[in-house]
Amino acid sequence: MRASLGSTAYVTLTLLVSLGFVLILATTLNYSKFISTYNGLADRRIAMITEWTRDSIQVVLNLGLELKGVAAAGNILKAAMNRDPHIGSIALFDTASQRIVFSTDPDQVGKPAAPEWLHAQEHATGPHWKLAESDPVIVGIRIDSGAVPNVGGAVLSYSLEDAHRNIAAMRDELIISALAIFALFTLVAVAGSLLVTRGLRRTLAGLSATFDPDAPDSAAGARLPARLRELATHFRANATSAKAKLADIEREIAHAAAAEPRS
């Protein structure tokens, strides 16, 4: 009995541990996939805006104007900024003077370009560059004219606050869903184990009564399932019949012994 109960508990615990591992793995993978997908979409969105800004400025530069002489640059930056509410500011800097010539933030105009901007653009392997570990994220793109490459750059400040909030919300939803599934499975597993254990306990008790010669006939098979009850009843009847025959034989032997003449 104790061995069967221990086996049932062990199997239930093994199932719960296995499910817990699977849920943790699935939650981690889905969370990582969500972060990767969300960040990828944000990067593509930012890249589209910076490329649109660069292309709009380069169209004017190809007419022979210098970057600081592009009068439409202010309107272009405002239009780019209106494309996404998460954009904090957009600035254009001139490579030769290393100063900001246009910006959606008037306080930045005329100030020196940040050294990290210039360094990132100079060492970038392509037109796009990004400052690592910045919040809000700072991304930029090189601007070329038809005659001179790298005349300047467009720098965009993009807030990831909403992205972090959405990622955190998705993480919480995944965790809550995993915990709910685990709790429900635990309830079902424990309830099932109790039912199985209870049924096994009844079966063993019924078998004990069946094979116990001192147990009353009414108890034999009373706690067994229907199919086993029929077999137990049949077995008990045969055992009772054999017991009665043995009793008859014993009585005959005793009677014969009593009837023998004594010398």
Q: Closest Cα partner for 45 from 159, 135, 165, 125?
A: 159
Q: Are residues 227 and 187 in the same domain?
A: yes
| 95-111 pLDDT per residue, tens | 988 999 999 998 899 99
Dihedral of the alpha carbons of 13, 18, 21, 27, in degrees to the nearest 10: -110
* Sheet of strand 99-103, all strands in order from the earlier edge strand to the far edge: 99-103, 87-94, 152-158, 137-143, 128-130
Residues 136 and 239 in one domain: no
pLDDT tens per residue across span 57-81: 888 888 777 777 777 888 889 999 8
More confident residue, 46 or 13: 46
Residue ending a domain, among 103, 128, 159, is 159
- 114/212 same-domain check: no
Are 151 and 222 found together in one domain? no
Q: State the virtual CA torsion across 173, 175, 178, 184 in degrees, nearest 10.
A: -90
pLDDT band at residue 23 under the 50/70/90 scheme: confident
Q: Are residues 103 and 209 in the same domain?
A: no
50: tokens are: 């910076």
Final residue in a domain of this structure, among 127, 159, 191: 159
The total domain count for the chain is 2
- The DSSP-derived string for 201-256 is HHHHHHHHHHH-TTS-GGGTTTTS-HHHHHHHHHHHHHHHHHHHHHHHHHHHHHHH
Please indicate, yes or no, whether residues 179 and 69 belong to a single structural domain of this protein: no
Average pLDDT, the chain: 76
Looking at 124, 159, 194, which one is the last position of a domain? 159
The pLDDT confidence band at residue 19, using thresholds 50, 70 and 90, is confident
Q: What is the CATH number of the domain that holds 101?
A: 3.30.450.20
**How do the residues of the chain divide into helix, strand and coil, expressed in percent and rounded to 5?**
65, 10, 25
Backbone angles phi, psi at 23, to 5 degrees: -65, -40
Question: Do residues 144 and 92 share a domain?
Answer: yes
Q: Are 102 and 74 in contact (CB under 8 A)?
A: yes
Say if residue 10 is in the same domain as residue 132: yes
Residue 77 CB-density burial (10 A; 0-12 exposed, 13-18 middle, 19+ buried) = buried
Q: Are residues 68 and 113 in the same domain?
A: yes
When pLDDT is cut at 50, 70 and 90, the band that residue 163 belongs to is confident
The verdict on pTM exceeding 0.85 is: no
6 and 97 together in one domain: yes
Domain that holds residue 238: 168-259
Integer CA distances (angstroms), 162 to 29, 38, 64, in order = 22, 11, 41
Asked if pLDDT for residue 227 goes beyond 80, the answer is no
45-49, 82-86, 127-131, 133-137: lowest mean pLDDT where?
133-137
pLDDT band at 210 (very low <50, low <70, confident <90, very high): low
- Residue 89, sorted as left (phi over 0), alpha (psi -120 to 50) or beta, turns out to be beta
Q: Percent of the chain at pLDDT above 70?
A: 66
Residues 6+ apart with CB under 8 A from 52: 80, 83
Any idea which residue has 């995944």 for tokens?
A: 174
For residues 47 and 113, membership in a common domain is answered with yes
Domain identity same for 151 and 236 = no
